Amino acid sequence: MEIAAVDRRGSVTSTGNVSRMTPLARVELTEEDPQWFQWDAYIEAGYEVEVRFRNGPLSAKRMVRLLTTKAAHHPEFKEFVGMKPGTAKANGVLKAYQGPRLRIWEIGVEGPHLKTWPTAGHRALYGNLTPDELNATTISQRLASFAEKAFRRSPLEGELKPIQRLIAGKLNEGMEPLQALQLGCQAILCSPGFLYLNLGEGALDEVALASRLSYFLWSSAPDAALLRIAKAGKLKADIPAQVSRMLADPRSDRFVAHFVRRWLDLDNIGEMPPSADFLSYYRDNLQSAMREETETFFQHLLKNNLPVGEFLNADYSFLNRELALHYGIEGVQGNALQRISLKGSQRGGLIGQGAFLTASANGVDTSPVVRGIYVLEKILGYTPPPPPPDVPVIEPDIRGAVTVREQLEKHREITTCAECHRKIDPLGFALENFDAIGGWRDSYEGRKPIDSAGKLPGGGLFRTASEFRKLLLARQDQFSRCLTEKLMTYALGRELEVGDRPSIDAILADLESANGGLRDLVRLIVMSDPFLSN
Of the CA atoms within 13 Å of residue 464, those in its CB half-sphere come to: 10
Average pLDDT of the residues in 59-66:
79
* Amino acid 186: pLDDT: 97
Cα–Cα dist 152/150, whole Å: 6
* Amino acid 409: pLDDT: 65
* Amino acid 281: pLDDT: 75
* Amino acid 502: pLDDT: 97
* Amino acid 205: pLDDT: 92
pLDDT top residue among 51 and 188: 188
User: Which residues fall within 8 angstroms of residue 21, CB to CB, at 6 or more apart?
Assistant: 4, 5, 6, 7, 50
* Amino acid 179: pLDDT: 96
* Amino acid 223: pLDDT: 92
pLDDT tens per residue, range 396-415 = 544 444 566 666 666 555 55
310 pLDDT more than 90: yes
* Amino acid 323: pLDDT: 94
395 pLDDT more than 60: no
* Amino acid 152: pLDDT: 83
Residue 236 · residue 206 · CB < 8 Å: yes
Residue 420 · residue 391 · CB < 8 Å: no
pLDDT top residue among 183 and 392: 183
* Amino acid 397: pLDDT: 46
State what percent of residues in the chain have pLDDT above 90.
Answer: 55
* Amino acid 8: pLDDT: 84
* Amino acid 111: pLDDT: 84
* Amino acid 112: pLDDT: 82
Cα–Cα dist 411/399, whole Å: 19
* Amino acid 272: pLDDT: 67
pLDDT tens per residue, range 206-260 = 999 999 999 999 999 899 999 999 999 999 999 999 999 999 999 999 999 999 9
In this structure, of 13-27, 97-111, 484-498, the range with the lowest mean pLDDT score is 13-27
- Hey, which residues does 341 pair with through a beta bridge? 316
* Amino acid 99: pLDDT: 79
Q: What is the mean pLDDT of the chain?
A: 88
- Residue 15 pLDDT grade (very low, low, confident, very high; cuts 50, 70, 90): low
Q: Burial level of 243, CB count in 10 A (0-12/13-18/19+)? A: buried
pLDDT tens per residue, range 433-474 = 999 999 999 988 777 888 889 888 778 899 999 999 999 999
Torsion of CA 50, 54, 59, 62, to 10 degrees: -150
Average pLDDT of the residues in 59-77:
82
Residue 28 · residue 335 · CB < 8 Å: yes
